[in-house]
Amino acid sequence: MARGRLTAPTRGEFLALASSALALGLAWWGLGAARRAADPRGALVRQFRREAGAHDLLIITDEAPELVTEAAPLAALWGVVALQDLSGIRKLYVLAPTEPALAPYLARLGPGRPRGASAMAWDLDGTARVVFDATAEVGTRVGAHRDGGLDAGPCPPDGGALRCHGPPWNHVRVEPHHFAGVELSCVFGHPQADGRLVIELTGIPSARALVGAVGIDDAGFFPTGAAVTMRVEYRAEGRPVVSTDVVAPNRRGVTPWRLDVPPAPASATLTITTPDAGARQFCFTLQATDAGAGQRKP
């Protein structure tokens, strides 16, 4: 039986193979360059890179290491990031695949500056470090009662929840809810049309701002529903009361909010009302924040 024999390629064959490989590589490089040029997120990254400073950070929420590489020398990373302490960072850019994916950052940092359909920028002065988080204090430094209506009365702590009078959905508790399909851990407080839910916060350390987000979750949204209003009153020791109305409009998604406050130990009252309770799955986040190390103004 005849056996095949391997032979080394001739010089001409080698050059032809090398030319083909080079052409293929150039074609792939050209396609990749065209994709990068047409990618609006890549254009945003390049814009951020031009305007950012040495103490700024870019977070890309989905797995996109190529965008992280393109951001250099701007410090950038992708994935889920712990945001309790952002000390040392002056401005934070966040780039997400969709607008709803920004919800956890809106809940942590409050309103930012839109930088495209699914990008935001925050000046972190006053919000860099969390000193009080309502989702960690329900039943301890977060209490509640209901005023008016059939379910008026105290909401005593019980097993990590505040068990107000009436059906189980009246209880105040921390749980995950979905807003425009995005899950967010928040304080659930079902409003009532014939009264008001009052949540009391005590022992808040000195802070610069209250930040958070409010929303009516996907299960509680319906087109003819009503908005929910959360009246925030903040009482810092030795300072005048500051207040604001935070409104969760009848739409999908979350609404960020921020209240700048006097830097002194404080307490706060949240009064939640709506003209039509319906299926209102109202949920909110609230964090007291300060400037963080290296960011405090003189």
CATH number of the domain enclosing 199? 2.60.120.510
* Share of residues in the chain with pLDDT > 70 (%): 85
Within-domain flag for 12: no
137 and 278 housed in the same domain: yes
- The pTM for the full model equals 0.84
pLDDT of 296 above 90:
no
Whether 278 shows a pLDDT value over 50: the answer reads: yes
- Please check the confidence at residue 248 and state whether its pLDDT lies above 90: yes
Within a domain: residue 226?
Answer: yes
The pairing of strands 142-147 and 153-154 is antiparallel
Residue 243 pLDDT more than 80?
yes
- Same domain for 157 and 284: yes
Q: For residues 160 and 247, state if they share a domain.
A: yes
What residues have CB less than 8 Å from 174, skipping those under 6 apart?
135, 138, 160, 185, 186, 187, 188
222 and 170 belong to one structural domain: yes
In a domain, 6, yes or no: no
| Mean of pLDDT over the chain | 89
Q: How many domains does the chain have?
A: 2
Summarize pLDDT for 183-211 with one digit per residue, the tens.
999 999 999 999 999 999 999 999 999 99
Q: What is the pLDDT of residue 228?
A: 96
DSSP H helix total and E strand total for the chain: 4, 20
Q: Which domain holds residue 271?
A: 129-290
- In 39-95, which residue ranges form alpha helices assigned H by DSSP? 40-51, 65-71
Residue 272 pLDDT > 60, yes or no? yes
82 and 223, same domain (yes or no)? no
| Single-letter amino acid code for the residue at 207 | A
- 170 and 248 in a single domain? The answer is yes
> Which of 73, 101, 123 finishes a domain?
123
Compute the average pLDDT of residues 14-25.
Answer: 57
Contact present, 196 and 233 (Cβ < 8 Å): no
